[in-house]
Structure 1
């Protein structure tokens, strides 16, 4: 080894760059494990950024002329040396990045900017829409992005804070199911397995930093083509985790395999970190479903339905319910007023919000009980506030019926405790909880019926290849988050959005406020790409992008699940089955916002010119709940869960405002002055975390870029 180092030093006197490259490769070989999983760490992946304007120094590909299919030469990477701004259209001078010394000229319109995965990126987010039916509940997030870059963005917002990651990565079938460096990996590629392992390792290393080391779960599904390699890779990336592989029967009919038995199953690796362990459940997922199995206790709505549901039918049962705007806790209610009284006739207590018994069509309804009964229900823990929309005076109150309350006295319903608002935590006692088995065999997990067919129902006939059964994903995430109803669940291979859908199902079953973060790109299928290229379209064109996974499948599927309507506005046909049965057209009381990842200039970020793009990241870091601060025109602002200040002349006002917001946990301070930052930190409440911008933001991504280059 010493002789090899001497030779490298001699080479450095003649070609320093080549010597450094050889030294790096030698180090990689020396670091290889004598035992375990060895594979090539291939040239860092690159991702196209259509729509980003090329500038001097940009890495780019040259697209083929419109109407032509891409060829091998279109995969070459070039650096923009200069842009001739005297021409129309603009023309760029290019230098090849493969060391060949080739130069080129191309129209700027024919260039697509490329980011390699060892390049520093400075991400932002742009909102592309939202669905709001959950009142003050946290928002689910859907991010259209290359997932490696999205994971880097989440290092700034969620490092060490994620409770569960569930992913269904590409299975590496060789059937154009994933790309590496802009090319589909074919089944005859000699490096197919090592490319897949390098692809997965880069993302798992970032996922490792997102997971809560003290209590979290990672779930990775796979089939027989890569399960052996995946198991070894997981052991090497997560040596301290408790790892187990589960077999899931997903089709009793079987899927034919050449020269092999028909496949009826796939696999899921469960990794437990810190104190995490599988939650005990009613169904072990293998043996016969026990007759004594019971469903979760169902809380009923106090909003009157059926006959006599209008305010005019019982005016004395129309009154406001008051909640603490910071905590969401029940505070009290207003008195009854005559039928003619408008809502502004009530005086709302300071620090509170109000909602009335409003029906889905916006008309005035009525509660089922009067103030005295409602007060008793809340005092005893038999009532709780559901989704609330204070801006429109809408909200829900749920309660345990008289029969259910009697069941708590007889012991048929067990009282396990109370939540932070004093609401009883209850479950039926007709069945004992058990530990799920390592083989799952349930009709609910059939991928064709409860994956493919369900997506078609939600999207009015749109198809998506091989979606997971909603109920299989639900069962997996339940094992990880059953007793953590405020869990953050991340899926960075979200595909059609099954994980987010499953999280919403779980929230409905136990009144939870879990939030999901789903990441998917807007890749267009291989067959559709051929047609689009021939139609003179390119990535980045609106007619191209509307066919992508995120825009065509993921976003409309999650929106449909919440609203109960297909993208065409028709009520979804069919019912949810198994644990919680109800019409799919009912939807969910949940909120979701859709984003697209952007790539910002660090100079514009540092100069505070990109705040609109950074603002969603600050909101995500603060919990994605409540109002988002998108405008700092007055120099500072405080929302329900966080505050941001850029004009430190208002430090005193800012500190007072954030102290008066009980749910605020983060203060983002935009300054490059050490003294001013430290002075403001001393004025903040102890429970508020100070984050200095844009130092913390820039440092996160610069450090990650250096680490990526070393891998």
Structure 2
């Protein structure tokens, strides 16, 4: 399927999220047709070969200018995966995030229990991780203030350029009144040859110097003149007084905090008795920060919000180790919060959690993100053994009904969107965190399921398999609206052309003038069906002289003649629900005018 998507989505995908087999040694993934056991001497090489081919295909699907690959993994293969990602994406930044998925830990005999999994983020082009409101290291106390930290130490930390010897003009005293501890004044820089221990403070004062906790002579972050200005403006202040030394640390507002005051994120409510600004978070505003590379939130627990949540949507249908819905949602949010029209791909779909998470993101901000998930329909090792003993084989209805797609992914996605279980009962329970509502409400999403098939090249060449390849054209045109899925009319005659609101197909190039004159202005993609490069070039050139095409962008595509090799990929609809509107709406059919 990844190869088929090269036709429809090359360079178009904004985010790929995958949760591949972890190569644990259990009978949970195959290389070729055989399960890879823990005692297989080549298990790591097989896993790397399995992953490399898919990652290289995935790379061609990602937008090179701005996209992200997210790959979940555990301790079995994370080191090798990191090296493989470096090899496949050599020019891209890469980070690994640790996600606590089970605070109790999974026991390891004689070893530490495992409480975490990892997410590799590979950033292509200008892609960035969005800032987060609230923490990811611990649950935020609902009663705690959301006010962020805005006052920071005015002393430079570290060595090198932070030391006095590197910045002698930034080594000066701040004088405090001995009796009251309030600010007296800001002194002048100490000469390089002078020692601060011998410096004489004004009578009745004590000196605060920029020293490290070990007593090392550091430097202030700004000049003595700027320090005076900051104290006068209330953007520098003195901290709590040390009961032993009677000294007080100096803190200040960073430029980012000053911008937050100007923009209204922070509101000045007054001044302290010593003149420092008193700030609060403005109503309805939240301060964001860069997310850390460790996430420790209960909503990411796989058992509670993966396995148990899955059971609510498809009761009685087990799936091993599904990810927490909210963990996947958070993983995607950092990349897609400002991309409401993005395309998300998951080619290890499992139970369909990625599509479920994208639906939640769309509901939260009204986005129209598209989720494409790909999976096979394999059964588990135990089920395969039992089915074989009962005389069933792959392809038999009894066998296929227990496959991961038919038994888990499709019913789970359907239940999430409709709010109804496979048994026709409303899904019980409520969504939690960020966006809380009854699961039975479902989502205003449209879903299309396809099965990948392979076509005889001769049938494609003779235009006898257009309905099989039609979904690929629909995908390439944006996967919106209805599908042009027939090249023949009800009498078996070939149509000259057909279109939907989004794209059009010209079957008979001799009718191009009539075709162009009738195209709706909403059409953005045109496919020209021909085996002649000359005819294709003629239509592509002539369209520029037609007023109907002016002021809009058109993409033309020629289907080439296939002379050898295996048949082309095609997609056979498995179920055709409504497209392009509210859930349950009747989808419009493609329009075809005239007869060829």
TM-score, structure 2 normalization: 0.69
Q: Secondary structure at the match of 1:573?
A: coil
Distance of aligned partners of 1:254 and 1:433 in 2 relative to their CA distance in 1, 3 Å threshold: same
Distance of aligned partners of 1:592 and 1:700 in 2 relative to their CA distance in 1, 3 Å threshold: farther
Q: Are the aligned partners of 1:284 and 1:435 in contact in 2 as well (CA < 8 Å)?
A: no
The structure 1 residue matched to 2:559, chosen from 671, 675, 693, is 693
Q: Are the aligned partners of 1:217 and 1:276 in contact in 2 as well (CA < 8 Å)?
A: yes
Instruction: Name the structure 2 match of 1:281.
Output: 132
Instruction: Name the structure 1 match of 2:313.
Output: 458
Please state if 1:471 is matched with 2:331.
Answer: no
Deviations 1:665-697 (A, max 9, x none): 2111111123321221124335101100135x9
User: Structure 2 CA distance, aligned partners of 1:233 and 1:292?
Assistant: 43
Higher relative contact order (CA 8 A, sep 6+): 1
Task: Summarize the alignment of residues 294-333 of structure 1 with structure 2, pairs less than 5 Å apart.
Answer: none
Instruction: Name the structure 1 match of 2:411.
Output: 556
User: Structure 2 CA distance, aligned partners of 1:581 and 1:165?
Assistant: 26
Q: Secondary structure at the match of 1:204?
A: helix
Please state if 1:217 is matched with 2:68.
Answer: yes
Task: Summarize the alignment of residues 72-91 of structure 1 with structure 2, pairs less than 5 Å apart.
Answer: none
CA RMSD of aligned residues (A): 2.4
Structure 2 unmatched ranges of 5 or more: 148-262, 268-281, 489-494, 544-548, 570-596
- Higher Cα Rg: structure 1 or 2? 2
Instruction: Name the structure 2 match of 1:627.
Output: 482
User: Structure 1 CA distance, aligned partners of 2:446 and 2:83?
Assistant: 38
Distance of aligned partners of 1:292 and 1:623 in 2 relative to their CA distance in 1, 3 Å threshold: farther
User: Structure 2 CA distance, aligned partners of 1:611 and 1:206?
Assistant: 26
Q: Secondary structure at the match of 1:483?
A: coil
Task: Summarize the alignment of residues 258-273 of structure 1 with structure 2, pairs less than 5 Å apart.
Answer: 258-273=109-124
The structure 1 residue matched to 2:364, chosen from 491, 502, 509, is 509
Please state if 1:600 is matched with 2:461.
Answer: no
Distance of aligned partners of 1:196 and 1:646 in 2 relative to their CA distance in 1, 3 Å threshold: same
Q: Are the aligned partners of 2:352 and 2:409 in contact in 1 as well (CA < 8 Å)?
A: yes
Instruction: Name the structure 2 match of 1:31.
Output: none
Alpha-carbon shift at residue 455 of structure 1 (Å)? 0.7
Instruction: Name the structure 2 match of 1:83.
Output: none
The structure 2 residue matched to 1:668, chosen from 519, 527, 536, is 527
Distance of aligned partners of 1:273 and 1:434 in 2 relative to their CA distance in 1, 3 Å threshold: same
Instruction: Name the structure 2 match of 1:306.
Output: none
Number of aligned positions between the proteins: 425
Instruction: Name the structure 2 match of 1:682.
Output: 541
Distance of aligned partners of 1:671 and 1:472 in 2 relative to their CA distance in 1, 3 Å threshold: same
User: Structure 1 CA distance, aligned partners of 2:283 and 2:518?
Assistant: 44
Alpha-carbon shift at residue 460 of structure 1 (Å)? 2.1
Distance of aligned partners of 1:702 and 1:209 in 2 relative to their CA distance in 1, 3 Å threshold: farther
Q: Are the aligned partners of 2:454 and 2:568 in contact in 1 as well (CA < 8 Å)?
A: no
Instruction: Name the structure 2 match of 1:4.
Output: none
Distance of aligned partners of 1:511 and 1:412 in 2 relative to their CA distance in 1, 3 Å threshold: farther
The structure 2 residue matched to 1:655, chosen from 507, 510, 516, is 516
Q: Are the aligned partners of 1:215 and 1:274 in contact in 2 as well (CA < 8 Å)?
A: yes
Distance of aligned partners of 1:155 and 1:287 in 2 relative to their CA distance in 1, 3 Å threshold: same
Q: Secondary structure at the match of 2:416?
A: helix
Please state if 1:500 is matched with 2:336.
Answer: no
Q: Are the aligned partners of 2:350 and 2:404 in contact in 1 as well (CA < 8 Å)?
A: yes
The structure 2 residue matched to 1:641, chosen from 499, 502, 515, is 502
Alpha-carbon shift at residue 649 of structure 1 (Å)? 2.2
User: Structure 1 CA distance, aligned partners of 2:92 and 2:565?
Assistant: 25
Distance of aligned partners of 1:550 and 1:536 in 2 relative to their CA distance in 1, 3 Å threshold: same
Alpha-carbon shift at residue 539 of structure 1 (Å)? 0.1
Deviations 1:218-253 (A, max 9, x none): 000000000000000000000011100000000011
The structure 1 residue matched to 2:376, chosen from 508, 521, 539, is 521
Bigger drift between 490-499 and 461-470 goes to 461-470
TM-score, structure 1 normalization: 0.58
Task: Summarize the alignment of residues 89-488 of structure 1 with structure 2, pairs less than 5 Å apart.
Answer: 150-289=1-140, 291=144, 429-488=284-343
User: Structure 1 CA distance, aligned partners of 2:498 and 2:382?
Assistant: 49
Instruction: Name the structure 2 match of 1:591.
Output: 446
User: Structure 2 CA distance, aligned partners of 1:553 and 1:598?
Assistant: 21
User: Structure 1 CA distance, aligned partners of 2:146 and 2:355?
Assistant: 26
User: Structure 1 CA distance, aligned partners of 2:404 and 2:266?
Assistant: 44
Return the structure number with greater strand share.
Answer: 1
Q: Are the aligned partners of 1:152 and 1:701 in contact in 2 as well (CA < 8 Å)?
A: no
Q: Are the aligned partners of 1:250 and 1:447 in contact in 2 as well (CA < 8 Å)?
A: yes
User: Structure 1 CA distance, aligned partners of 2:57 and 2:13?
Assistant: 12
Q: Are the aligned partners of 1:619 and 1:629 in contact in 2 as well (CA < 8 Å)?
A: yes
User: Structure 2 CA distance, aligned partners of 1:606 and 1:283?
Assistant: 57
Distance of aligned partners of 1:462 and 1:428 in 2 relative to their CA distance in 1, 3 Å threshold: farther
Deviations 1:572-602 (A, max 9, x none): 0000000100000000000001110001122
Q: Are the aligned partners of 2:457 and 2:568 in contact in 1 as well (CA < 8 Å)?
A: no
Q: Are the aligned partners of 1:246 and 1:438 in contact in 2 as well (CA < 8 Å)?
A: yes
Structure 1 unmatched ranges of 5 or more: 1-149, 295-409, 415-426, 705-711
User: Structure 2 CA distance, aligned partners of 1:283 and 1:443?
Assistant: 14
Alpha-carbon shift at residue 701 of structure 1 (Å)? 8.8
